Structure 1
Amino acid sequence: MAGRFIVFEGGDCSGKDTQIDWLRDNLPADKFTFTKEPGGTAIGQRIRDLLLADSSNNMFSETELLLFSASRAQLVREIIRPELAKEKHLIVNRFFLSTLAYQIYGREKLEQLPLLEKITSLALDGTFPDLYIFIDVPPEVALRRLSDRPDEKNRLDKEDLTFHQRVHQGYLEGLKNLPHIKIDGTKSVEEVREDIINGLIKFFPDDGFEHFFKIAEVN
């Protein structure tokens, strides 16, 4: 049975990292691989460090777009395709939808959408997610959460409310033509987790997800 390629998306402080951590801790490692972007590979991690560093505040939006896409191209070839070829399920923290939301909508560069589409086609080379799980949190709520943990902010987190509102709109626009589940991220951590579990079981009824989560409950 082919592995499933699942991407978690959401704005800053949406809670997706918390949910992914729980899945990583409770799903069988021989059946699931977890990775992230930017990052996930040695080259990708160096790109991530450069992108998010405060010293990169003068980075142009075009540079951001190209660097995120470069990390993605490396991740697809080094991790995603090989793991799927092993028939493992793959869960990725962010993918090209984040670049659409942040670098196109957030940076107000809609005229660069055709360029992003071409670069993404090269980076992915036909490797597309089976499902996006979007944890939806209003930007106002997300920024309030972010204010409670100032030491964890990167330079993109520090953008103003209007930037994050545009990012949120970019996510909603991008999801329209993609297979996705939208989760209400304002609920409690436990309620969000339950919605994710139920969504995966419903979306992939024949892939054993219900069995995996029953084992997780026992453990």
Structure 2
Amino acid sequence: MKGCLISLEGGEGAGKSTVLEALRAHLECLGIKLLVTREPGGTALGEAIRSVVLDEQMGQVCAESELLLMFAARAQLVRELIMPALDEGTWVLSDRFTDASYAYQGGGRGQPEGRIAELEAWAASGIKPDLTLLLDVPVEIGLARAQVRGVPDRIESEQSGFFDRVRSAYRERAGLEPSRFRIIDSSQDIDSVAASALAAVDEFMIRQRDSK
């Protein structure tokens, strides 16, 4: 039986790292064989690309280069880790997946949706998450949280208008695929956010069980 792919999405300061660890602990406690990864990253090549993409010293990286770099990392992750894991029945929990490109490189950078869809079909082998948890937080709240984490990376250094477009793109994606997305109000305290995420995963697992 194939595994399931669960992705965690959201803008800056949404609390993804904390929620990811809560989900990891919850799924492992249930005895589910689990692979946890992140984007960009997860593989040696992906982590190298991540360091380039997020490096503030890189200066002006054109939108086309950023998009292709993200999908280069994703192509490697899909083929090296995600596809083999799913085929052997392992569940995959990913900190971001292709929806992030529609939000950041599409909504944020203005790259055409059709171009991203072509790359999704080719570089990502058309793989989509079975469940996507969107941690949705107003931009001003998210950026205020992100500021306390330390020196911002190249993308975190963008202006608020960029993140407004990212958030709108995420919410639009969720509206187009309501059966896959669960929107979680991430302006709550982190314990409440994590509890909502766990409840969404539990509900997904019940639906998976009942459909068999």
Whether the TM-score (by the shorter chain) exceeds 0.5 is yes
Q: Which residue of 2 aligns with 1:160?
A: 159
Amino acid at match of 2:175: K
Q: Which residue of 1 aligns with 2:119?
A: 119
Q: Which residue of 2 aligns with 1:8?
A: 8
The structural deviation recorded for 1:176 is: 2.2
Q: Which residue of 2 aligns with 1:199?
A: 200
Identical-pair percentage: 34
**Structure 1: tracts of 5 or more residues without a match:** 209-219
Q: Which residue of 1 aligns with 2:17?
A: 17
Give the SS at the match of 1:176.
helix
Amino acid at match of 2:183: K
Task: Tell me if structure 1 keeps the 8 A contact 2:120–2:126.
Answer: no
Query: Number of residue pairs matched?
Result: 205
The structural deviation recorded for 1:207 is: 5.4
Task: Tell me if structure 1 keeps the 8 A contact 2:71–2:124.
Answer: no
- Within a 5 Å distance, the mapping from 1:44-193 to structure 2 comes to 44-109=46-111, 112-151=112-151, 153-178=152-177, 179-193=180-194
Q: CA RMSD in A?
A: 1.6
In structure 2, C-alpha distance between the alignment counterparts of 1:127 and 1:114, rounded to whole Å: 16
Superposition TM-score, scaled by structure 1 size: 0.88
Q: Which residue of 2 aligns with 1:214?
A: none
The structural deviation recorded for 1:148 is: 2.2
Amino acid at match of 1:24: R
Superposition TM-score, scaled by structure 2 size: 0.91
In structure 1, C-alpha distance between the alignment counterparts of 2:85 and 2:38, rounded to whole Å: 14
In structure 2, C-alpha distance between the alignment counterparts of 1:206 and 1:72, rounded to whole Å: 28
**Structure 2: tracts of 5 or more residues without a match:** none
In structure 1, C-alpha distance between the alignment counterparts of 2:156 and 2:20, rounded to whole Å: 20
When structure 1 is superposed on structure 2, of 24-33 and 67-76 the one drifting more is 24-33
Give the SS at the match of 1:150.
coil
In structure 1, C-alpha distance between the alignment counterparts of 2:71 and 2:22, rounded to whole Å: 28
The structural deviation recorded for 1:88 is: 1.2
The structural deviation recorded for 1:149 is: 2.6
